[in-house]
């Protein structure tokens, strides 16, 4: 079975590429506003992803697109330790997540895959990830891998619930990032309880063992 994805905050298509390498996913719609990223994306995939995901026009386009999984590496600069860490107070990049949540609410994909910097988890004393978890779990009714309910009915998770490093999954790169994988409770019903409790911590299928392999793959 081939699942359909949409690629939001697409950059040059790195997340999309990872999914497509499995042979089980096909991308049907993309959104990116950086002009240089759009040029590279079009060179790599033969399609121009220039769309503003915050616009009503694009949200309607998504609503009229049949797809299964929403992918989004939403802007990280405002959550990164290398920046001002304004988070959701940055009304240009920091609030993109809420537009993504709006698209999820309107279109109800089977699953959602979000990626951001490692510092997203500890940003603003943990309140940023708490907001994201609450919106996905409570408001949108999705089950996040790595998030459980404690004895008081509160959402429980740790940094380890979300942080994974690409060096442990077949890439010669030390890159810890935050990954949020969520599945629709409405779509899967009781089967949602069969999901793994945690994201995998490593993979045995090496995409590239060194930089030579990567250069060869790009020719």
Mean pLDDT by 10 residues, the chain (219 residues): 96 94 96 96 96 97 98 75 58 79 97 91 87 95 94 91 90 89 94 88 63 45
3-state secondary structure at position 179: strand
Angle separating helix axes 56-63 and 96-107, nearest 10 degrees: 30
Query: Minimal CA–CA distance to 157: which of 148, 169, 170, 165?
Result: 148
Query: Minimal CA–CA distance to 206: which of 197, 217, 195?
Result: 217
DSSP state of 50: B
User: How does strand 163-165 pair with strand 176-184?
Assistant: antiparallel
Rg (CA), the chain: 17
Annotated catalytic, 76?
A: yes
Contact (Cβ atoms closer than 8 angstroms) between residue 140 and residue 105: yes
Which residues are paired to 29 by β-bridges?
A: 6
Please tell me the predicted confidence (pLDDT) of residue 214: 40
Please tell me the predicted confidence (pLDDT) of residue 107: 98
Contact (Cβ atoms closer than 8 angstroms) between residue 169 and residue 202: yes
Please tell me the predicted confidence (pLDDT) of residue 94: 67
Cα 181 to chain centroid distance, Å, stands at 7
Please tell me the predicted confidence (pLDDT) of residue 1: 85
Q: Domains along the chain?
A: 3-218 (3.40.50.150)
3-state secondary structure at position 11: coil
Query: Minimal CA–CA distance to 183: which of 171, 195, 175?
Result: 195
Q: Which of 9, 38, 76, 218 is catalytic?
A: 76
Query: How far, in Å, CA of 128 to CA of 37, rounded?
Result: 27
Q: Which two tokens stand for residue 182?
A: 């969520």
């Amino acid at each position: 079975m081939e699942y359909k994805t949409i690629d939001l905050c697409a950059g040059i298509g790195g997340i999309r590429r990872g999914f497509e390498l499995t042979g089980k996913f096909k991308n049907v719609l993309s959104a990116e506003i950086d002009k240089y990223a759009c040029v590279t994306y079009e060179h790599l995939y033969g399609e121009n992803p220039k769309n503003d995901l915050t616009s009503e026009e694009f949200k309607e386009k998504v609503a009229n697109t049949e797809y299964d999984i929403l992918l989004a590496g939403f802007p990280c600069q405002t959550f990164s330790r290398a920046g001002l860490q304004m988070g959701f107070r940055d009304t240009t990049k920091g609030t993109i997540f809420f537009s993504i949540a709006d698209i999820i609410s309107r279109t109800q994909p089977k699953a959602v895959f979000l990626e951001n910097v490692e510092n997203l988890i500890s940003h603003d004393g943990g309140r940023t990830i708490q907001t994201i978890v609450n919106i996905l779990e409570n408001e949108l009714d999705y089950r996040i891998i790595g998030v459980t309910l404690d004895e008081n009915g509160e959402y429980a998770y740790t940094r380890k619930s979300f942080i994974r490093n690409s060096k442990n999954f077949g890439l010669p790169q030390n890159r810890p990032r935050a990954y949020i994988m969520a599945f629709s409770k409405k779509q899967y019903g009781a089967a949602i309880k069969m999901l793994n409790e945690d994201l995998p911590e490593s993979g045995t299928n090496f995409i590239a063992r060194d930089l030579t392999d990567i250069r060869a793959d790009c020719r």
